[in-house]
């Protein structure tokens, strides 16, 4: 197996892999622009999927999609097991979400992203049999301090102490869902504030793990694919992530068991979700958000903003690009 960081010579394709992946997320984000605020999330997702797939076929790597998208909403998808890339270069597991936040895109709201995560072949947990995962994400201060098995109030107090800040200054991100009503109440009863997200828990998790971010913790039940993607980013940020698979019914629980997943409340640590540090996470903003700005069009140009996080080097890089409108729209 060729590692994503095996050969650091200037001519090796691995040196440019992250930039090539950014081209794919940029394409997906740009193609979704005509659907922003139009109430047609399936059409937005379909356009993003087609654009991402087309660009991934040109990338010099031997990629297999371990975590696809779309099954949860019966939407178009880059399917699990699909091979992408030219077949030359490093062997890699791929997790994709052409639009993390299709509802955000359709409604013209903030924090929609186009996302790809990459790790060495065999490194990613294939959690596709179960659509949801209960997650806990913090920055480096939470490592060895918080634990998803503890009550949320205890985790809040532990993290506040580790951060050296009053509990009432702590902010916790949670998806705004009926299933989280008690969790939200418990966070507030503990003295912390909440930031309720309507969608897009990948951005929520990353923002909680970033240095000097506006939130300190991200908790709750979101997509299991998003959990794997977020774990790839957390590797670069030095943060903390844990997850427990959450089945919606007995049939889904059995599918998880049949797939070899632990469905008894087992806690998946960061290295269980994605092994090693050879991870690359790239995201391009579809709509404006705290992590990146959204696609914007000005005259003959389209502007995009992206981030690249590499686990091996522990770096976060920002890429701003301008594209000729005539080539895209």
What's the CA gap between 233 and 120, in Å, rounded?
Answer: 14
| Start-end of H helices in the chain | 17-32, 41-56, 102-107, 152-163, 181-189, 201-209, 224-237, 250-258, 270-273
Asked if residue 154 has pLDDT above 70, the reply is yes
Q: How confident is the model at residue 86 (pLDDT cuts 50, 70, 90)?
A: very high
**What would the pLDDT profile of 216-270 be if each residue is shown by its tens digit?**
999 999 999 899 999 999 999 999 999 999 999 999 999 999 999 999 999 999 9
pLDDT confidence of residue 14 = 52
Q: How confident is the model at residue 77 (pLDDT cuts 50, 70, 90)?
A: low
Q: How confident is the model at residue 194 (pLDDT cuts 50, 70, 90)?
A: very high
From residue 186, give the alpha-carbon distance in Å to each of 127, 142, 156, 193, 283: 28, 19, 10, 10, 32
Q: How confident is the model at residue 74 (pLDDT cuts 50, 70, 90)?
A: very low
Mean pLDDT score, 166-181? 97
Angle (CA) 44 47 53, round 5°: 135
Q: How confident is the model at residue 293 (pLDDT cuts 50, 70, 90)?
A: very high
Asked if residue 95 has pLDDT above 70, the reply is yes
3-state class percentages of the chain: helix first, strand second, coil last, to nearest 5: 35, 25, 35
Asked if residue 72 has pLDDT above 70, the reply is no
Higher pLDDT: 299 or 147? It is 147
pLDDT confidence of residue 78 = 76
Q: How confident is the model at residue 76 (pLDDT cuts 50, 70, 90)?
A: low
Question: Model-level pTM?
Answer: 0.89
pLDDT confidence of residue 82 = 85
What's the CA gap between 116 and 119, in Å, rounded?
Answer: 10
Sign of the torsion formed by the C-alpha atoms of 126, 131, 68 and 28: negative
Mean pLDDT across the chain, nearest whole number?
A: 90
């Amino acid at each position: 197996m060729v590692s994503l960081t095996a050969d650091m010579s200037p001519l090796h394709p691995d040196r440019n892999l992250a930039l090539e992946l950014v081209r794919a997320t940029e394409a997906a984000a740009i193609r979704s622009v005509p659907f922003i605020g139009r109430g047609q999330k399936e059409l937005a997702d379909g356009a993003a999927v087609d654009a991402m797939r087309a660009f991934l076929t040109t990338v010099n790597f031997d990629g297999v999609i371990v975590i696809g998208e779309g099954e949860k909403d019966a939407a178009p998808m880059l399917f699990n097991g699909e091979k992408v890339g030219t077949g030359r270069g490093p062997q890699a597991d791929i997790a994709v979400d052409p639009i993390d936040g299709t509802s955000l895109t359709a409604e013209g709201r903030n924090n929609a992203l186009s996302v790809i995560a990459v790790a060495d072949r065999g490194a990613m947990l294939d959690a596709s049999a179960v659509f949801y995962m209960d997650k806990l994400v913090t920055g480096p201060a939470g490592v060895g301090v918080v634990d998803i098995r503890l009550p949320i109030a205890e985790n809040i107090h532990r993290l506040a102490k580790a951060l050296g800040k009053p509990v009432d200054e702590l902010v916790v991100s949670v998806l705004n869902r009926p299933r989280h009503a008690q969790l939200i109440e418990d966070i507030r009863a503990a003295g912390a504030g909440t930031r309720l997200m309507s969608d897009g828990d990948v951005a929520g998790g990353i923002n909680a793990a970033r240095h000097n971010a506006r939130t300190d913790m991200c908790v709750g039940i979101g997509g299991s694919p998003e959990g794997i993607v977020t774990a790839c980013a957390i590797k670069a940020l030095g943060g903390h992530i844990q997850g427990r698979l959450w089945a919606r019914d007995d049939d889904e629980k059995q599918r998880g068991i049949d797939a070899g997943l632990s469905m008894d409340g087992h806690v998946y640590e960061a290295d269980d979700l994605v092994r090693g540090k050879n991870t690359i996470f790239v995201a391009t903003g579809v709509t404006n958000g705290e992590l990146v700005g959204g696609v914007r069009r000005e005259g003959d140009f389209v502007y995009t903003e992206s981030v690249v996080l590499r686990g091996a080097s522990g770096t976060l890089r920002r890429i701003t690009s301008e594209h000729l409108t005539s080539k895209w729209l």
